[in-house]
Amino acid sequence: MRVLSLLVLFIGVVAVIMGGIFIGLGASRDMQLKEAMRLEHVTLGIESDLEGEAIDSLPEALEAGDTIREHRRGIAASYEDLLDEGRYDPTNPQHLTYAQAMNLENYLYLAVVAFGLTQAVMGSGVFMVITGIALGSTGIVLYRLRKAS
């Protein structure tokens, strides 16, 4: 019983440490991503009360990406429709605008995925901490029960 209680306590401590690491890594990557987006200073497609502020969050990046996709599809419904059985011509302003819109749209949707991943990592970390506390508490209770008997 003593070995079991110490093992459960040890696993709980490890879970708390790992959870803290996950939370720290997720938070640091989230801050790094926000700072990188602020440096790019993309301001398209966000609410008017935030006009001029850089897009630096998951909801803002998603909204801006959707707006750019809408505008891009106003030029052509698809890349194939844009080319109309021809080749991409970088001197054609319509082709160039479409390609630039695709690049910015991809940048914003990649940011959405990255923000989602950092949130998932932090959520996993919180779960590990809670689980670790529960396991550690169980280990302590088991240890005390063994001593009492």
The band of 146, judged by pLDDT with boundaries at 50, 70 and 90, is: confident
| Span 77-112, pLDDT tens digits | 988 888 886 888 888 899 999 999 999 999 999 999
pTM for the model stands at 0.82
Range of the domain at 53: 2-148
- Please state the domain count of the chain: 1
Mean pLDDT of 21-42: 95
The band of 1, judged by pLDDT with boundaries at 50, 70 and 90, is: confident
Positions of E strands within the chain: none
Pair of tokens at residue 131: 């689980």
Least confident stretch, 1-10, 18-27, 42-51, 128-137: 42-51
Number of Cβ atoms within 10 Å of the Cβ of 129: 18
Mean pLDDT of 62-67: 92
DSSP 50: G
Give the distance between the most distant pair of CA atoms in the chain: 85
Average pLDDT score, the chain: 91
